[in-house]
Amino acid sequence: MNYRFSIVFLMVFALGFSQNLKVMSFNIRLNVDSDKENSWTNRKQDVADLLTYYHPDYFGVQEALPDQMKDIKNGLKNYDYVGVGRDDGKEKGEFSAIFYDTDRLQVLKSDTFWLSETPEKPSKGWDAALNRICTYAVFRDKKSKKEFMALNLHFDHIGNVARVKSSELILKKIKEINPKNLPVTVSGDFNLTEDSEPIKIMSQNMKDSFYHSETKHYGPKGTFTGFNVNEIPKDRIDYIFVKGFKIKSHRHINDRRENLLYPSDHFPVLVDLMF
């Protein structure tokens, strides 16, 4: 028997059933006129160009208002999204939506829940300053037919209790809506650094892709810039947690617009996964 041939065959066979996924988390900064040169009108094409260039298989957005949702969808080819506005469960307020490449992925199930004591309806939880939501989707990869689950969120920026409870709720919900124990990603702006209790809760139950990538993280460590191009951000508050995936690479994208300003006040987080 030709053992060398058998080993090569098995390697090719295994690789044929492994699929890479490019996943992004991107706080696009809401549309406010007070941002002036950094206003959405001035940078929406740059955001669309960035997304087109990196072409994630799916990406979670934060702070996206209804008009921004339309701009993103219209600026991309073959993408759709799941998600609702946080204020009425329809079109009002910020979305924490998940956009996905319709050529690659099929949505099997999706919904949005509120990070509160009453997650099934629009609500503000615990000591939070604002309504906060998490959108999820169960996808089927059209290439491999494999299924996985993605969640995308935006934690409160004020409520300490709310952020701890939100981490606990996320993990509870994953167990409830993922009975098949599918691979999972949780992306979002957590408004917290990694030494905080809510992030520790997440890291104890899922892999922080920043630390578990097979290749060293690329780019600045921090993700929040406040549009300040003169300082390198130190605080990492945007994350992608995973379970059931191999993490091939992790990057914070610090690309600039043609005028040398940033496309948003947060760097997008991009990971390459395999499952």
Confidence of residue 91 (pLDDT cuts 50, 70, 90): very high
The encoded tokens of residue 156 equal 């409160």
pLDDT tens readout for residues 263-274: 999 999 999 999
Domains of the chain, first to last: 20-274 (3.60.10.10)
Average pLDDT rounded to a whole number, residues 44-62: 99
- Give the burial class of 75: count Cβ atoms within 10 A of its Cβ; 0-12 exposed, 13-18 middle, 19 or more buried: middle
Average pLDDT rounded to a whole number, residues 49-64: 99
pLDDT for 13 beyond 80: no
Confidence of residue 11 (pLDDT cuts 50, 70, 90): low
Q: Which residue has the tokens 């947060």?
A: 266
pLDDT tens readout for residues 211-223: 999 999 999 999 9
Confidence of residue 19 (pLDDT cuts 50, 70, 90): confident
The string over 217-247, giving b where at least 16 C-beta atoms fall within 10 Å of a residue's C-beta and e elsewhere, is bebeebbbbebeeeeebeebbbbbbbbbbbb
pLDDT tens readout for residues 67-85: 999 999 999 999 999 999 9
**Which residue type sits at 128?**
A
Q: What is the pLDDT of residue 126?
A: 99
Average pLDDT rounded to a whole number, residues 53-57: 99
pTM above 0.85, yes or no: yes
Average pLDDT rounded to a whole number, residues 123-137: 99
Report how far residue 75's alpha carbon sits from residue 133's, in angstroms, rounded to the nearest whole number: 25
**Rounded percentage of the chain residues whose pLDDT exceeds 90:** 93
Q: What is the pLDDT of residue 10?
A: 53
